[in-house]
Amino acid sequence: EAQVTQNPRYLITVTGKKLTVTCSQNMNHEYMSWYRQDPGLGLRQIYYSMNVEVTDKGDVPEGYKVSRKEKRNFPLILESPSPNQTSLYFCASSLSYQPSSYNSPLHFGNGTRLTVT
Amino acid sequence: AQSVAQPEDQVNVAEGNPLTVKCTYSVSGNPYLFWYVQYPNRGLQFLLKYITGDNLVKGSYGFEAEFNKSQTSFHLKKPSALVSDSALYFCAVSDSRAAGNKLTFGGGTRVLVKP
């Protein structure tokens, strides 16, 4: 089954304790992206990657890191989490990074709910 | 800069009645417009998109949306709502001049369809 898999689904941690949220897609998609969802704010892009070893900042990159060493994986790293990073996080992928492309619609994972105390 | 607005936090509609979810946008180039739906504890699912061509776009689950350039709107519609359409709906826009598949999402509109 074609899917984007995120782990874990739920995570509670303390301020300053490094954590990684994994994301993997099995569709051979070039484009991958991380979003955070907060009530009333919709989804805001954190980082994105157009291909292996190509990553760039989105709208809210502060406090986050990513890497794209393999095409299928795009982990999100919080080196020193803070309470304002408590949120619902989504990983997404698409075959093409061109919005006008037929292959541009994003496929989303089921989300990771992170709480930082 | 690109932006999108969903003016209604929630829309309530009776089952069988028409459903409309509003969306307006702002871009500097040509707009690429999308609707996504989110069911509880799930990620977003693609419904439909407008890139070019016919202003009326048909999508999944009987939904359609009308692109109106003069009003900079892309409202989502369904002629007859079902209880199972109750979910959170997001409009998103990408500017033809933006790099990196940058999608800007609206704040979302919760749809509640009552039996």
Q: How far is A69 from chain B (nearest CA, A)?
A: 18
Mutate to test the interface with A, among B21, B50, B74, B103 (most CBs of A within 10 A): B103
Mean pLDDT of successive 10-residue segments in chain A (117 residues)?
93 97 95 92 92 93 97 97 97 83 82 96
Res. B101: pLDDT tops 70: no
Distance CA A30, CA A90 (A): 17
- By CA distance, what is B49's nearest residue in A? A105
Contacts of A95 (CB under 8 A, 6+ apart): A27, A28, A29, A30, A31, A101, A103, A104
Res. B19: pLDDT tops 90: yes
Residue B99 pLDDT: 65
Q: How far is A17 from chain B (nearest CA, A)?
A: 26
Chain A residues touching residue B107 (CB < 8 angstroms): 40-42
Q: How far is B41 from chain A (nearest CA, A)?
A: 7
Name the band, by pLDDT with cuts 50, 70 and 90, for residue B53.
Answer: confident
A60 touches A44 (CB < 8 A): yes
Is B61 strand, coil or helix? helix
- State the average pLDDT for chain B: 92
What sign for the dihedral angle of Cα B45, B93, A99, B19?
positive
